[in-house]
Structure 1
Amino acid sequence: MLAYHIPNWRYLTVVSALPPFLVLVFFPFIQESPRWLLTQRKTKDALAVLTTVANWNSRAPPTIETMEALQTSVLRESSDVLKGFDGIKQIIRNRRLRIDLIILTWATVACSVVYCGVSFSAKSLSGSPYWNMLYMGILDFLGVPAVLIFNRLGRKKSYLIYMGLASAFLISILVMEAVIGNAEDYPFLITVFALLGRFGIVAASGALICIVMETFPTTLRSTCYGFTAFAGYMGGVVAPQAVFLGSISRSIPYILYCTLTVTSFASSLFLQDMAGVPLKDTANI
């Protein structure tokens, strides 16, 4: 909406850069990470933070003895974390880890390509591109907390529900092309299906991040999360090329999107369901 009312890009850049400065207002209220404080052996500082959090939640604060025991556990976990080639070797040797990493990497790439692809296609959708971008922003705002609706079902089921939703709407666009022959005669429906498909991807991405963090053990979590995130970024780099294929045929980008979402949905059925299962500390558990 800012771009709609401020056509000059220089003024738009300045105006859109101002709101982030409001974050500085909240700086005094932001607590330091207790885990980081414990790794730095600042036990009393970590105790002060958790005491503040306990007071916010009307809970009894932890004791210094509890914090010292927690610090011992945190330091032991930090020393056991496998980084670099040591982590990669562990993943290669463990069949379950290999399968999970491949599935989750593919899912991350699928979410990134579809999300960025539909975003870049906003100008080709019917209606004003300014309003289409606004609708995307509203759906993004709703998509992130939408994961909480199915939180009790577990991350895997939440992901499958939203990825299935995204697949259904994207496939609907292809069905319209096949049945009607010229879906451009119904531009409003194309726009609605594309935006709702993107909403499903946003919600699925929120669940996917949790799946990645819960699936891999503590000793390999940062390595695996970094790898999947990097793959997702590369998917975002490729996404504009998918939009370019739309100049050849309007259906080609949506064929690609549907292929990614459907294969991601199918392969994710083989993931472990971590609902109610304690987080793993090592690959052997």
Structure 2
Amino acid sequence: GLVSKGSWTSGYVLITEFVGVGYRRMVAILYQTAFTVGLVLLSGLAYVIPHWRRLQLATSLPTFLLLLYYWCVPESPRWLLSQKRNTQVIKIIDHIAQKNGKSPLPDLKTLSLAEDVTEKLSPSFADLFSTPHLRKHTLILMYLWFTSSVLYQGLIMHVGATGGNLHLDFLYSALVEFPAAFIILTTIDRFGLIRPLVVSNLVAGAACAVMIFISHDLHWLNITVACFGRMGITIVFQLVCLVNAELYPTFIRNLGVMVCSSLCDLGGIITPFLVFRLMEVWQGLPLIL
């Protein structure tokens, strides 16, 4: 889990730094759609391989293919620039230009003259709190990551604990993430990031509130409302990822995403105890929290 989290975060930051500003948000959303594809495949894989140890092995082995990325994927030119490794920047951009059938920019040659002239930037945890704006952004993002994780995973666990077909219920809730990505792609340029983030949080919270009053005998209705909540919190998750990557300067962007998203992991650890312990008191209690 620790290694996969690092590879996901590094890949997300890398892909957002490689593309131009005009395509960054679209590419970032499409990158996260691959996560949804994995969830859909997981439901079928869990049905075919019911033993959890074998399932864990089947889902872990393909990650070894990521080792090939070291030789196939170049380093981020933006990060290299922040580290004053300008010679490597020139080589990578020249290679990209050749692959795209473009002529290299002549101004790039002047970068090599500035290499090692200024001090290289070395990011640290303290940099995330070095200014009032960075402190505010870091604390808000940590809170958003934590609450989004608790709600996202809490909905999944609550639906699974209320009966029904576990594999189908998981599949249904995973499929709604595709329209969530479509909604983001069609609204983000018009409404920005903050308004969709707020509205989606309200939709997810409203879905939890409605589920409290639905009888457990109406399992199909519970699943339907939970799917709307899952769609809302998925939009929140993807927008938080975008905001997280855009708010930090290049030299601490990867560190900022890693540190803030670690609160997502903390939420994932706490959620099972919240859901299952509180359901022993009353099944609707986790939905209130």
Whether TM exceeds 0.5 here: the answer is yes
- Aligned-partner SS, 1:247: helix
Q: Corresponding residue for 1:283?
A: none
The separation in 2 between residues aligned to 1:71 and 1:183, in whole angstroms, is 71
Please give the per-residue CA displacement for 1:97-125, whole angstroms capped at 9, x wherever unaligned: 44433333221111011112123234224
- Aligned-partner SS, 2:216: helix
Say whether residues 1:133 and 2:170 are aligned partners: yes
Among candidates 72, 84, 100, match of residue 137 of structure 2? 100
The separation in 1 between residues aligned to 2:194 and 2:118, in whole angstroms, is 30
Query: CA, structure 1 residues 189+55, in 2 after alignment: closer, same or farther (shift >3 Å)?
Result: farther
Say whether residues 1:169 and 2:207 are aligned partners: yes
Query: CA, structure 1 residues 9+167, in 2 after alignment: closer, same or farther (shift >3 Å)?
Result: closer
Say whether residues 1:111 and 2:154 are aligned partners: no
Please give the per-residue CA displacement for 1:64-110, whole angstroms capped at 9, x wherever unaligned: x326449959986953x66344653x34xx2x444433333221111
Say whether residues 1:124 and 2:161 are aligned partners: yes
- Aligned-partner SS, 2:201: helix
Report how far residue 236 of structure 1 moved: 1.7
Say whether residues 1:160 and 2:202 are aligned partners: no
The separation in 1 between residues aligned to 2:163 and 2:140, in whole angstroms, is 35
Question: Is the CA contact (8 Å cut-off) linking 1:108 and 1:231 kept in structure 2?
Answer: yes
Q: Corresponding residue for 1:83?
A: 124
Please give the per-residue CA displacement for 1:120-153, whole angstroms capped at 9, x wherever unaligned: 2342244210112222333345545643222213
Ranges in structure 2 where 5+ consecutive residues have no aligned partner: 1-43
The separation in 1 between residues aligned to 2:58 and 2:242, in whole angstroms, is 34
Query: CA, structure 1 residues 221+70, in 2 after alignment: closer, same or farther (shift >3 Å)?
Result: farther
Cα RMSD over matched residues?
Answer: 3.5
Say whether residues 1:202 and 2:234 are aligned partners: yes
The separation in 1 between residues aligned to 2:55 and 2:268, in whole angstroms, is 25
Query: CA, structure 1 residues 68+199, in 2 after alignment: closer, same or farther (shift >3 Å)?
Result: farther
TM-score, length of structure 2 as denominator length: 0.68
Query: CA, structure 1 residues 218+172, in 2 after alignment: closer, same or farther (shift >3 Å)?
Result: same
Say whether residues 1:12 and 2:55 are aligned partners: yes
The separation in 2 between residues aligned to 1:141 and 1:134, in whole angstroms, is 12
Please give the per-residue CA displacement for 1:7-27, whole angstroms capped at 9, x wherever unaligned: 344543444345445656777
The separation in 2 between residues aligned to 1:72 and 1:159, in whole angstroms, is 41
Q: Corresponding residue for 2:285?
A: 252
Moved more, 229-238 or 213-222: 213-222
Please show how residues 216-227 of structure 1 align to structure 2 within 5 Å. Answer: 216-217=248-249, 221=253, 224-227=256-259
Question: Is the CA contact (8 Å cut-off) linking 2:197 and 2:236 kept in structure 1?
Answer: yes
Report how far residue 31 of structure 1 moved: 3.0
Report how far residue 246 of structure 1 moved: 1.5
Q: Corresponding residue for 2:31?
A: none
Q: Corresponding residue for 1:151?
A: 188
Report how far residue 161 of structure 1 moved: 3.4
Q: Point out the structure with max Rg over C-alpha.
A: 1
Say whether residues 1:49 and 2:92 are aligned partners: yes
The separation in 2 between residues aligned to 1:70 and 1:196, in whole angstroms, is 53
Report how far residue 207 of structure 1 moved: 0.8
Among candidates 274, 279, 285, match of residue 242 of structure 1? 274
Query: CA, structure 1 residues 213+197, in 2 after alignment: closer, same or farther (shift >3 Å)?
Result: same
Determine what percentage of the aligned residue pairs are the same residue. 25
Query: CA, structure 1 residues 213+135, in 2 after alignment: closer, same or farther (shift >3 Å)?
Result: same
